[in-house]
Amino acid sequence: MFKNYLIIAWRNLRKEKTFTFLNVFGLSVAFGTAILLSMYALFELSYDRFHENSDSIYQVYQTEHNRNGAQLSISKPVPFAPALKEEVPGVEKITRYNGGTALLTRGEKQLRMSAVFVDPEFFSIFSFPVIEGSKKPVSENAEIAMTEKAAEKLFGKENPIGKTVSIFIDEQEKAFQVTSVIQNIPDESSLNFEVALNFKSQSQRAYGRNIDRWDNSNHEVYLQLSEGTSPEKFEKATRDFTARHYKGYLADARRDGVQPDANGQYLQQKLLPITDYRFASEKNGVAVVNRIYPYLVLGIAFLILFIASVNFINMNIAKSSQRLREIGMRKTLGAGKNQLFLQFWGESLLVFLGALLLGLLLANLLLEPFQTLFNTRASFKNVISFRNIFGFVAAISFITFIAGGYPALLLSKLGTLKALKGKLNLDGGQRLRNSLIIVQFCIAILLISGTLVLWNQLEFMRNKDLGFNKEQVITFPLNGKQDDFRNLQLLRNELTGKPAIRSISAANTNLGRGRDHTTSTSVMTFDHHNKTVRTNVMTVDHDYAETVGLEILQGRSFDRAHATDSLSLVINEAMARELGGENILEETIYLEDSIRFSVIGIVKDYNFQELDREIEPLTIFLNPQWNMRYAYIKVAPGNLNAAYDQVKLAWNKIEPNAEFLGSYLDENIDRTLSRERSMMTMITSGSIIAIILSCVGLFAISLLVVSQKRKEIGIRKVVGASVGNITVLLTSSFLKLVGIAFLIATPFAWYFSGKWLENYPYRIELNVWIFLISGLIAFGIAIFTISFRTLRAALQNPVKSLRTE
């Protein structure tokens, strides 16, 4: 019997080739797209869950209350971690973590790699398995651990264990012995590095000078809680610890009239679960976890599957009138409801299984372009697990049962006499069909609106006046073997006098995100007029303001003609407001060891941080011989590519073994918007696919409607109806549905768009035109889709229509 069902199902599918193709095409595209999108979302949600103790690993941060409200800080002083483990119960393991880069030398080979300085317990907290050598990496100061890839880069096929490498620290090369090779860092890890060294082997500036200092913070801290210790219990237990080690901060906060939190705390140690790390952002001094992006992607995948399933249901209900006599005859011959249901559901099952296989093939073929387009390392191997496979099978089975089972149930319940007469009351089916079409276009309009809002916001942020020259300034890390000050002088010697080069400077931070993908900020607090002032700090070389294109509002920038500028400051407007006072240029600020600094200039506020943050106070110091890290070179307008090549050639001459990672500042800004760009691409792609699938369904329904009204069309043409009248007759009912969808979807699109824009301090204003354009696009697509068949039917000879009927 089952074999007969399959044979009959196959014959019926072959008989209706057009509708079978439309169903298989729509479902295949939907399955393929949903698989890729779900893989991306599951990969994002799997970040940092591979650690064996992931449920008990946390990053320590603190909420600081000051006159401007609450602020979050993850940077900790050197003695913080040892004291915390000793004095606060519940800390099973703890490690300090300072990330950056290191220049490794092995013979003639010189490579700059991403490096971390950690305590030995780091490798017992996090699951980065050792595959060769000591099972306790970086136990000693002169030891180094490296990943498989890093070892291969540096040593090739040679066994690295026991070999030595040189690393440039404190302006001299120091020898380190390779004692461990660890497994390559998983793609779904928030902590990425190529080599690891003992925390105590850092430079004197980073470690040696700060062993006992609580007023200088420069690294992160991670810990593993003991079993039975909750984050809330730990946070309460740290209050005495904070009161003991941050007496000065707490006294200043009380003096300044700072408002504490609900528990009376001015400074509270808090924990962020490592599994939430990737999704955390700051809000009012607290780490807020938001997984909306991966869930949005999963939602788009579901909506696409929903639209394809709606098409399948609509087409099967619409085609039901063509199979009434078949149903009546089979019932007369003794077929029961269950047998009919299995027959029709079997046909649906064949279509779904075929579409699923084609969808898997499509997803596999498009995987590499998908990874490139969305800048993701998600792949099938990342998400294959029993839970994910079970969920996928369950979801597909549910969709198949509902989308295939409903039309089958509807047909199997028909009465025998009505079926034999070929009469069927389709009012209920038509209402369902119309409702589903409305839902389809609601989804499409929502996605189109989201795409337009996101595109406008992205363009607004890209074209916003950031307060500096982003088109003519090249920046790159000074990642060579020689010290930064010397390299900068050599650059000036090489490039001075070249017509394409306007000015050269340097700073210890980058603007935007460069090709080295690193960002850093430095913050300090000091007392000024009996109040605590908090400011971001930056160290620069001469000509920084002129090179970057900052606008001087008052005073001047640093000048080589003034020898005292090493004890001078340039601040931004936000810092000027923080300091207060009528004449800022006469202010004197006392910093470390009561060193006196004078404010000599005020620059216009500019976005030196991410664009999703308001501009904060900034203080700029002059110290050319400090660790500058980044060179800035302003070039003449015109042939920017030629100027870039000149800078690259000069750097390769100075540091032939160091990779040139230069980029223009506008490229850096684009990198900071990569998440928004990926989101826009994702929603745009989802919108396009949703529209295509909606059009496929609309086209198929229009085919059936025209077929059912062929005789009516012929009669109307005989009595004088024009082509336009008939076209309006056939399209008006569909366009009404699109209009209803527009009225329903627009308020939702406006609300959710407004909520999303609230995350940005600098944002567009929503206007009705965005949503009207979305509606017009939906109307245009619907008219374009329906017009193929309706115009052909309206132009057909009425005699032929009446004869064939």
Q: How far apart are CA 40 and CA 376, in angstroms?
A: 8
Please give the average per-residue pLDDT across 427-443, as a whole number.
Answer: 73
CB-based burial, 594-622: b 16+ in 10 Å, e otherwise = eeebebbbbbebbbbbebbeebbbbbbbb
Distance CA(599)–CA(615), nearest Å, equals 19
Least confident range of 372-386, 763-777, 781-795: 781-795
- Pairwise CA distance, residues 557 & 534, whole Å: 22
Contact 112, 194 (CB under 8 A): no
One-letter identity of residue 803:
R
DSSP code string of 619-680: EEEE-TTS---EEEEEE-SS-HHHHHHHHHHHHHHH-TTSPP--EEHHHHHHHHTHHHHHHH
Return the SS3 of 575. Answer: helix
Rg (CA), the chain: 34
% pLDDT > 70, the chain:
82
What's the average model confidence in pLDDT over 108-136?
A: 90
- The predicted model gives 714-730 an average pLDDT of 61
User: Stretch 652-681: mean pLDDT, rounded?
Assistant: 83
The confidence score (pLDDT) of residue 313 equals 73
**H and E: helices and strands count for the chain:** 25, 25
- What is the mean predicted confidence (pLDDT) over 550-554? 92
- Residue 257, token pair as written in the block: 């009239």
Would you place residue 707 in the very low, low, confident or very high pLDDT band (cuts 50, 70, 90)?
low
Strand boundaries in 549-617, DSSP class E: 552-555, 568-572, 588-590, 596-603
Residue 340 is given by DSSP the state H
The mean pLDDT of the chain is: 81
What pLDDT band is residue 678 in, cutting at 50, 70 and 90? confident
pLDDT confidence of residue 419 = 47
Most confident of 101-105, 381-385, 512-516, 600-604: 600-604
Count CB neighbours of 753 within 10 A: 21
C-alpha span between 97 and 114 (Å, rounded): 13
Q: What tens digit of pLDDT does each residue of 136-190 get?
A: 999 988 899 999 999 998 988 889 999 999 887 776 788 999 999 999 999 889 9
Q: What is the reported pLDDT for 318?
A: 60
The amino acid occupying position 388 is: N
Q: Is pLDDT of 241 > 90?
A: yes
Question: How high is the pLDDT of residue 17?
Answer: 67
Tell me the CA distances in angstroms from 239 to 234, 332, 805, one per residue in order.
Answer: 9, 83, 87
Q: What is the pLDDT of residue 805?
A: 45
* pTM of the model as a whole: 0.79
Taking 50 as the threshold, does the pLDDT of residue 693 lie above it? yes
- How far apart, in whole angstroms, are the C-alpha atoms of residue 165 and residue 391? 48
Secondary structure (DSSP) of 183-232: PPPPTT-SS--SEEEEGGGS-TTTTGGGTT-SS-EEEEEEEEEPTT--HH
Q: Which tens digit of pLDDT belongs to each residue from 489-539? A: 888 888 888 888 899 999 988 888 888 777 777 777 788 877 878 888 899
Q: Residue 664's CB: how many other CB atoms inside 10 A?
A: 20
SS3 state of residue 270 = strand
pLDDT tens string 36-64: 988 888 898 989 999 999 999 999 999 98
| Whether the predicted pLDDT of 259 surpasses 90 | no
